[in-house]
Structure 1
Amino acid sequence: MSDKTSLYKKISNVMKEVSYLSKDDKVEFNNTKYKAISEEKVTSTVRASLIQNGLIIIPVKQSHKREGTLSTVDTEYKIIDIDTGEYEIIVSSGTGADTQDKGVGKAMTYSYKYLFLRTFAIPTGEDPDKISSAELDDKQRKAEEEAKKPPPALRAKWKLAKGDMKGFDEWMTAQQEKGKTFEDMETTLDKRIEELKESA
């Protein structure tokens, strides 16, 4: 059996060096205001300690699924002692809500953040149970509604391509039903605008 004493000591050193992380992000919802901790702060702080102690963390296995607008990512990571080559497998999961193609990325970011917080037992004072489910549901609903709104550039390109805004909403709905993103739609309109320029 291999001796992982060096690996465990280094993990312990990271826990000693990063003993607490204060919140650095403000979240506001109606009359509710609270602070959270950003992925950037968690990753940059823990990363410095990992480098100092000769540890690396790499993803080795991942699976994800999507249900509606919610993507869930399950990832296995290796935490490796670069001096001995010894490692442990650590796991983390994350979810991310998005109506387009960013759900998996959001879930991966969430997973990575909590991998560090839980692996090294870093307290932050952050407690998701203090946020009501109704608040989270309403926040997600509003985010989904906002994501469905076409960007101003898309409307402007439609007007250039068609001359007015007639039929825009119907066309956009049909495109979304085909799985097209707003970027896809803009590309389609760009081509039409170029055709009009060439024929002018």
Structure 2
Amino acid sequence: MTEKKLSLYQKMSKVMESIEHLQKDDQVSFKTTNYKAISEEKVTKSVRKALIEQGLVIFPTEQEMTREGTLTSVNTKYKIVDIDSGDFEILASSGQGADTQDKGSGKAMTYAFKYLLLRTFAIPTGEDPDKTSSPEQDEKELKSIRKTLDGLVKECVKKSGGEIGKIESWLVQKTHAKSYKDADKEQMKEMGELLNVLIAKADKEKTQNDE
């Protein structure tokens, strides 16, 4: 009896099943902000193995890149293809990178690809699920993250001259949160990364103007 071949979506589901959780392996520090993150290397290595096992490939097909000062933004469309059937699906992701040299584009593309993989295959990156935590501890952590995020928004407004409402709306759009106030822990941390990029850009521009 011939074994029934899996469809593209069934193979994507198998990838999701094979990667239940990825522990964060990187420490991000910027001024008063300090939190754990997951590296692109770890995400790519884990997903790559699962993609090969299922006979799937992912590659970019379209890319739009813009640069303002030291900040580079990229919007990329990727194609995920089933090598057995040739079936494919189009995926999209975006990313930003700040660098005073020529590495901004590379950072932006790395950021976009990492979050494409995390979101496409719904990979959790929080603390180890085997570790127990109380509701009080979780609430305290969320309040701490929210307080830090609100402080970064105010700092960004002060340095960039923008409006709080517009910045919050932009963050919601970038992280796909329901709203700024309803963002979950991972979305708030992603918002923090985006704000750090904007603040770094504003600081760099101020330094250049003062010279």
- 2:29 aligns to what? 28
Residue number among 131, 135, 140 corresponding to 2:200 in the alignment: 140
Alignment gaps of 5+ in structure 2: 127-184
Partner of 2:7, secondary structure, is helix
Equivalenced residues, count: 144
- 2:188 aligns to what? 129
- 1:196 aligns to what? none
1:26 CA displacement: 1.3
Residues 141-161 of structure 1: CA distance to partner in whole angstroms, max 9, x if unpaired? 59959xx9xxxxxxxxxxxxx
Instruction: Please say which structure displays the higher CA radius of gyration.
Output: 1
Cα distance between partner residues in 1 of 2:194 and 2:42: 28
Q: When the two structures are superposed, what TM-score results if normalisation uses the length of structure 2?
A: 0.60
- 1:85 aligns to what? 86
Cα distance between partner residues in 2 of 1:74 and 1:63: 5
Q: When the two structures are superposed, what TM-score results if normalisation uses the length of structure 1?
A: 0.63
The letter of the residue matching 2:186 is: D
Alignment gaps of 5+ in structure 1: 149-172, 174-200
Cα distance between partner residues in 2 of 1:69 and 1:80: 34
| Mean CA deviation greater in 99-108 or 42-51 | 99-108
Q: Residues 71 and 197 of structure 2 are in contact (CA less than 8 Å); yes or no, is this contact kept in structure 1?
A: no
Cα distance between partner residues in 2 of 1:69 and 1:99: 5
Cα distance between partner residues in 2 of 1:62 and 1:51: 24
- 2:38 aligns to what? 37
RMSD: 2.8
Q: Residues 8 and 81 of structure 2 are in contact (CA less than 8 Å); yes or no, is this contact kept in structure 1?
A: yes
Residue 13 in structure 1 maps to residue 14 in structure 2: yes
- 1:51 aligns to what? 52
Cα distance between partner residues in 2 of 1:134 and 1:47: 26
Relative distance call for 1:12 and 1:129 in structure 2 (3 A) is same
Q: Residues 98 and 197 of structure 2 are in contact (CA less than 8 Å); yes or no, is this contact kept in structure 1?
A: no
Relative distance call for 1:21 and 1:139 in structure 2 (3 A) is farther
1:91 CA displacement: 0.7
Q: Residues 71 and 201 of structure 2 are in contact (CA less than 8 Å); yes or no, is this contact kept in structure 1?
A: no
Relative distance call for 1:143 and 1:132 in structure 2 (3 A) is same
Q: Residues 95 and 106 of structure 1 are in contact (CA less than 8 Å); yes or no, is this contact kept in structure 2?
A: yes
Partner of 2:123, secondary structure, is coil
